[in-house]
Structure 1
């Protein structure tokens, strides 16, 4: 009898909880909105950052790839002088095709991994501890690189070849597939993944850590825009310096079909670069250019993402207020 009453009370208690469960669709809507906001903010962040540094990015790729061009062609001014101002953005359309989905996936994945790891480690809604913070960035970068790699290959080819060789992005895909095989579209994939783990991990880790320290020291939950740019610049400097040799190896493997070299493995490529050009001058070729380009690009990217997220949240709140 007593147990029957207890069971009845339990069922009533469960019945009281059921109306709360009806809020699940609302939670699902919030999650979907959050994902879409992250995708849009990430796409915009990547597009703005890469367009801003496109001339420096093109110059860096030319430095990394042993392309036989006029002696002054790696420099920005002669490139402008010989081929016109907009030649500095050659390959930028391919960059946009790659970077928009890459940045969207990376930033969105980072937000999702932060939520998952926060729940797993018991830090839901709070700043993650150092290791999960590093892990979230590495996993986000790996996810984005795996899904968009062929577009990176196309971008590299367009950046180091004459305009007459490839007319557009589709032409690059068709010609590489026909002349070199579909596997070529994934040449350099392994060093890319090995490089993106420290790059993305350290970049996100540094940026999130600096924001956390800033909030603790200043008492302001949100840094100013110029502070975000500075934090992003530090993140880019650290992340790209740590992964730069693998970035050089990746570019050499991607552009092997048009430079007359044959690179098979990561270690083999590294050995050939070091034997022909030396350790520092080979594996770190163009690093000084990256120290200019990288911090600017990452700073703009992180700042644009954060500010777009804040703007979208405010617009959403205003929409609810208007109702």
Structure 2
């Protein structure tokens, strides 16, 4: 047997092709996107998990946000519950972000293919609306499929450890005490928020990449450039959707009293406005998002591009015979 050939079964084996292919199959595009997206999402979210937990706690409370109070929250959490408490809820975050990021990046590539943005023509590069639309549709797709995990993560981030000790316990207690419909509480403001967030993020990143390629003739090999492009995309995306992020967190973590109807989006908006005002209510913690958001999105985009290129380089050289 040829030393380059590895038998998998009597009928299927993998071997190195003598002539590299020039195009991946759509199945290979999907698989490499899923893997790269999952790794990118996990790395990005784990990096900023303590800041994420701090932000959520301020979002759902009436306490005015400030950098000093955010640092105080981190300090008190560390003293009271220990270092790893700063990552409380991160297991739930990873359980959500791994499938979310995998689906998000993969859906974006597939929507670009459907909208014919994968064809490298000047008309497609200049199609800003379709570029924005492909990002928004990717966000809606991934958010819809993973929303219950997002709600569980929010609950774990704002409760004591003895109330929800595991992700499984979150789902069981919510199902028994509040009903299965609770898993999609806050879904509408989430989708309304993800449309500008995902649309602006993907649009900005792709636009910066295309502008760089038009000017220099190739995509940058320096990962720091990808990181900066992703950071800019993250900052703009976070800012465009932040008020709706506040609303969804309030709805996700609220627990209606007996015989009291659940608050609607409009009621939640009015309550926040009356009690906390526009800036103090709808943009509470945004300055922290300008720190953690660009870091997370920058890491996510840069990691995704590098791992995707690595996996697809392997796929180009290995054929299923």
**After TM superposition, is the score higher than 0.5?**
yes
Matched residue, 2:188: 190
Give 1:264 shift. Answer: 1.4
Which one of 44, 53, 63 corresponds to residue 39 of structure 2?
A: 44
Question: Does the CA-based 8 Å contact 1:106-1:144 persist in structure 2?
Answer: yes
Question: In the alignment, is residue 33 of structure 1 matched against residue 28 of structure 2?
Answer: yes
1:56 matched to 2:51? The reply is yes
Structure 1 residue 75: Cα displacement: 2.4
- Equivalent residue, structure 2, for 1:310: 309
Q: SS at 2:255's partner residue?
A: helix
CA contact (8 A) 1:135 1:201 kept: yes
Distance in 2 (CA, whole Å) between partners of 1:258 and 1:92 is 26
**How many angstroms does 1:80 deviate by?**
1.3
Indicate yes or no: 2:291 matched with 1:296: no
Cα distance in 1, alignment partners of residues 30 and 184 from structure 2: 28
Counterpart in the other structure of 2:233? 235
Q: Hey, what's the Cα distance between the residues in 1 that align with 2:42 and 2:308?
A: 15
2-structure distance, mates of 1:259, 1:44: 40
SS in 1 for 2:161: coil
Partner of 1:93: 91
- How many Å separate the matches in 1 of 2:257 and 2:61? 7
Identify the residue that residue 284 of structure 2 maps to in structure 1. 285
3-state DSSP class of the match of 1:167? coil
Partner residue in 2 for 1:144: 142
**Equivalent-residue separation in structure 1 for 2:213 and 2:316 (angstroms):** 24
Measure, in 2, the Cα distance between the counterparts of 1:154 and 1:32: 32
1:177 aligns with 2:172: no
| 1:28, distance to aligned residue in structure 2 (A) | 11
The 3-state SS of whatever aligns with 1:75 is helix
Length-normalised TM-score, structure 1: 0.84
- Aligned partners of 1:210, 1:265: CA distance in 2, in Å? 38
More helix by share: 1
The corresponding residue for 1:83 is: 81
**Larger mean Cα displacement after TM superposition, 269-278 or 210-219:** 210-219
1:39–1:120 Cα change, 3 Å:
closer
Task: Indicate if the aligned counterparts of 1:161 and 1:258 stay in contact, CA closer than 8 A.
Answer: no
Q: CA deviation at 1:258?
A: 8.4
Q: Does 1:158 pair with 2:153?
A: no
Please give the alpha-carbon distance, in whole angstroms, between the structure 2 residues aligned to 1:232 and 1:186: 29
Residue 314 of structure 1 and its aligned partner are, at CA, apart by 2.1
3-state SS of the aligned residue for 2:25?
helix
Q: Select 2:166's aligned residue among 165, 168, 187.
A: 168
Q: CA deviation at 1:220?
A: 2.8
Give SS of 1:104's match: helix
Deviations 1:203-247 (A, max 9, x none): 000000001111122233335200000000000000010000000
**Higher Cα Rg: structure 1 or 2?**
1
Q: Distance in 2 between matches of 1:182 and 1:155?
A: 16
Q: Aligned in 2, Cα 1:284/1:74: closer, same or farther, shift over 3 Å?
A: farther
Deviations 1:65-106 (A, max 9, x none): 1289xx878622222122111001000000011001110001
What is the root-mean-square deviation in Å for CA atoms of aligned residues?
2.8
Structure 1 residue runs without a partner (length 5+): 1-25
Distance 1:243 1:289, change over 3 A: same
8 Å contact from structure 2 (residues 92, 167) kept in 1: yes
Give the alignment of 1:182-261 within 5 angstroms.
182-257=180-255
Structure 2 runs not aligned, ≥5 long: 1-20, 64-68
In 2, are the aligned partners of 1:45 and 1:304 still within 8 Å (CA)? yes
Q: Is the 8 A contact 2:117 2:130 kept in 1?
A: no
